[in-house]
Structure 1
Amino acid sequence: MMEATPAQQQPVTKEALVEIKPVTSRKELGQFIDFPHDLYEDDPCYVPELFIAQRDLLTPGKHPFHEHSSLQLFLAWRKGRIVGRIAAILNNNHNVFNNAEDGFFGFFDSINDQAVADALFSTATQWLKKRGARTLIGPVNFSTNETCGLLIEGFDTPPVAMMPYNKPYYLDLLARAGFEKKVDLFSHKIVEETVNDKPQKMMQLLRQRLQQRNITIRKIDMRNFKAEAEKIREVYNAAWDKNLGFVPMTLAEFDYTAKDLKLIVDPDFVLVAEHEGKVIGITICIPDINQVLIKVKRGRLFPTGIFKLLLNKKKIKAIRIIVLGVVEEYRKMGIEACFYGTIMEKGRQKGMQWADAGWVLEHNDLMNNAIANNINGKVYKKFRIYERKI
């Protein structure tokens, strides 16, 4: 990576002039969503986001984030052509929960041109500064509960479901713009041929020991999905509350996410640990739907994308472990091992070839070591969240 150079020291030429415009219309929102499709047109690892999902995510009144916080989308133009995009995000819930004055940038994409990137970051910074932010953090698409991080290692394979992807040159764009590392996130790859079978072999014994303590593990009851989702939300907010940058999900936000996941989830991969009827641990795994979406042109389900989705869903050969956690007082009792053992067992029954366990904070030694030592997972992708002072 090249040594960072302050943007203000770089010469500005007529060719480098960039115009940044706020997104204010439905047409411009469509252009904002579609820009990456053109930027990554020839990239075999690029997976288009579904247009409908992105549109609803970014539209006030559609996604519950907008009930408590705000954002502004910007497009970078040069000579009548879109050359970049960014979202300036003020997450009020994050700042209240963490007693912070942070601003975020997300949905960042740019051609390989420092002048474009600098103009986008400058515009986002000014928007957030006017609203009291003192630090710019990103890329984070609303919060760490959603897609976040810049891919810094593992450019050779497509992203799995709900994980980011970007060009390698983005690292230089951020470094030259004065951003520094805040934290790295790891994704582990667990391959069927090389996975350590110990959790699966010990599963029956562990379950028996847990049952002696009135702890049981079961799969989610899809017939009572709404009630189950509320129990899972409580554990999610309790088990992850000490994670860096965490912000609790509101009931509306969790319901929104749960409804999306319900469309693709396999209940055999959503497990709940209970102690005398109280939920104390959860794991949520989803099929890697990106193996299908990578073939859906420009993220449009209609007219033909929906058929690709339906026809190829059964061909998916990987899962992503999105969430696996236990509330603090119940950790190191074997619940996590039972989760992994059950996932292995069901994955083999369903012909899954590998799993992605991510992301995990770099300093979460308990989880990183457990994945590496207990099931032979290997870190195969790394993501970074950056920051700079405003």
Structure 2
Amino acid sequence: MGDGQVVIDPVGGKRDLDAFIDLSYRLNRDDPNWVAPLRGDMVELLTPGRNPFHEHARVQYFLARQGARVVGRISAHIDELALAQPPEQGMGPGTGNWGLLEAESEPVAHALIARAEEWLRAEGMTRVLAPISLSVWEEPGQLVLGHDHPPTVLMGHQPKRYEGWIESAGYTTAKRLLTYELDITQEFPPLIRRIVQSGHRNDRITLRKVDRSRYEDEAKIIIGILNDAWSGNWGFVPFTETEIAYVGKKMKPLVREDLIMIAELDGEPIAFMMTLPDFNEPLAKTKGKLFPFGWFTLLKWLRKPIGSTVRVPLMGVVRKHRNSRLASQVAFMMIDTIRNASVANYGATRGEIGWILEDNQGMVAIADAIQCTVNREYRIYGKAL
């Protein structure tokens, strides 16, 4: 990094926003496991009016420059829906966030974090949870384990050095988020197979695929279960109606009917499991560019998404059944059904489940029972302002 004072200014206008986005491609281009996002997706994420997160959030982006050179970036943001959550669930009144950190050096990172904290204080915040980019539903946490392999679809991948830089800025661990992997070509242990078989013999339990011809209705059922199932979880922020429609539209190209299950008890939806083919496998080949040939690579894959990995980003059981034997039985049934479809129809050999809160005892127990291993860990840090 060259000589000269580091100056941090708010992002203002298209040129600054372009510089904010471009920096991540430059700083991460030599990391063989970083998967470049599509540039258009990043513009959409950051732009009010295009990403409904901005409808209930205050957001400010900052760029660090040394002379004419951009040397760092950060976002500072306050989610009004997060402020309304109970404090014992992690968010709550006075809690702001920062994220999207990229920096050429530790001094630059510290200056950016201090600037984000200053903005949050001026907005009335008294504590910060970070990094969260931008919402807890997108890419929460700093990667601290798993830098030796690429992230799966919708997962973050940050340089290892950022972990120490954040901690040396006075941050301590607030929560660990874990992802688990398993060899899906192998049968489950005998006990789990018996539990699954017992469930299939129970006439009260029905597993069904999602119906793409009723896509919007199915999305509302899934988000309804999710908002209920996760409502007591640490860090939970509910989806708005606008976000449900937005996420549904964004996810539709990746949706495969046989990879998303809804479980019903006596005809009532009580659980779901969403599995996605790993879009990052073809995306990595495009280097984040649709033109001249990236669009063909992605379109070909979307027509027939054959790959080595599938990811389970979301699953849930409604609260009234959460601590019952039924909950784990239905979960095993859905995992087994989707596991078989993933191998037979998409050529997958590896599954990834997560992220899962470190203290989510039910999900951790399920992962252990089917002999998963932790392959990535993300850390959300906290600090009083």
CA contact (8 A) 1:203 1:342 kept: no
Write the distance in 2 (CA, Å) between the matches of 1:337 and 1:291.
27
Which residue, 131, 135, 149 being the options, matches 2:141? 149
Write the distance in 1 (CA, Å) between the matches of 2:140 and 2:4.
29
Which residue, 211, 214, 218 being the options, matches 2:208? 218
Amino acid across the alignment from 1:162: L
Give the count of matched residue pairs: 372
Alignment of 1:261 with 2:256, yes or no, is no
CA contact (8 A) 1:192 1:353 kept: yes
Alignment of 1:355 with 2:351, yes or no, is yes
Write the distance in 2 (CA, Å) between the matches of 1:304 and 1:74.
33
Q: Superposed, which structure 2 residues align to 1:7-86 within 5 Å?
A: 15=3, 17-86=5-74
CA contact (8 A) 2:100 2:134 kept: no
Which residue, 368, 371, 382 being the options, matches 2:364? 368
Amino acid across the alignment from 2:320: E
Q: Superposed, which structure 2 residues align to 1:124-163 within 5 Å?
A: 124-163=116-155
User: Could you tell me which residue of structure 2 aligns to residue 9 of structure 1?
Assistant: none
Write the distance in 2 (CA, Å) between the matches of 1:288 and 1:16.
43
Q: Superposed, which structure 2 residues align to 1:1-390 within 5 Å?
A: 15=3, 17-98=5-86, 99-111=92-104, 113-194=105-186, 196=188, 198=190, 199=192, 202-209=195-202, 211=203, 214-297=204-287, 299-313=288-302, 314-331=305-322, 332-333=325-326, 334-350=329-345, 351-373=347-369, 375-390=370-385
CA contact (8 A) 1:149 1:385 kept: yes
Write the distance in 2 (CA, Å) between the matches of 1:168 and 1:38.
16
CA displacement at 1:215 relative to structure 2: 2.9
Write the distance in 1 (CA, Å) between the matches of 2:285 and 2:69.
26
Q: What secondary structure sits across from 1:280 in the alignment?
A: strand
CA contact (8 A) 1:76 1:83 kept: yes
Amino acid across the alignment from 2:99: G
Write the distance in 2 (CA, Å) between the matches of 1:289 and 1:169.
27
Q: What secondary structure sits across from 1:263 in the alignment?
A: helix
Query: How much is the aligned-residue C-alpha RMSD, in angstroms?
Result: 1.8
1:134-159 per-position Cα deviation (integer Å, ceiling 9, x unaligned): 11111112322221111001110011
Write the distance in 2 (CA, Å) between the matches of 1:272 and 1:265.
14
User: Could you tell me which residue of structure 1 aligns to residue 89 of structure 2?
Assistant: none
CA displacement at 1:194 relative to structure 2: 4.7
Write the distance in 2 (CA, Å) between the matches of 1:16 and 1:369.
53
CA contact (8 A) 2:53 2:135 kept: no
Write the distance in 1 (CA, Å) between the matches of 2:46 and 2:349.
35
Write the distance in 2 (CA, Å) between the matches of 1:40 and 1:278.
47
Range 240-249 or range 18-27, more displaced:
18-27
Instruction: List gaps (5 residues or longer) in structure 1.
Output: 1-13
Write the distance in 2 (CA, Å) between the matches of 1:224 and 1:302.
33
Q: What secondary structure sits across from 1:172 in the alignment?
A: helix
Write the distance in 2 (CA, Å) between the matches of 1:58 and 1:42.
24
Q: What secondary structure sits across from 1:71 in the alignment?
A: strand
CA displacement at 1:195 relative to structure 2: 5.4
CA displacement at 1:338 relative to structure 2: 0.8
Write the distance in 1 (CA, Å) between the matches of 2:253 and 2:291.
17
Q: What secondary structure sits across from 1:77 in the alignment?
A: strand
Instruction: List gaps (5 residues or longer) in structure 2.
Output: 87-91
Amino acid across the alignment from 1:58: L
Write the distance in 1 (CA, Å) between the matches of 2:269 and 2:237.
20
Q: What secondary structure sits across from 1:294 in the alignment?
A: helix
Amino acid across the alignment from 2:43: R
CA displacement at 1:97 relative to structure 2: 2.3
Task: Label 1:287 to 1:364 Cα distance change in 2 as closer, same or farther (>3 A).
Answer: same
CA contact (8 A) 1:152 1:383 kept: yes
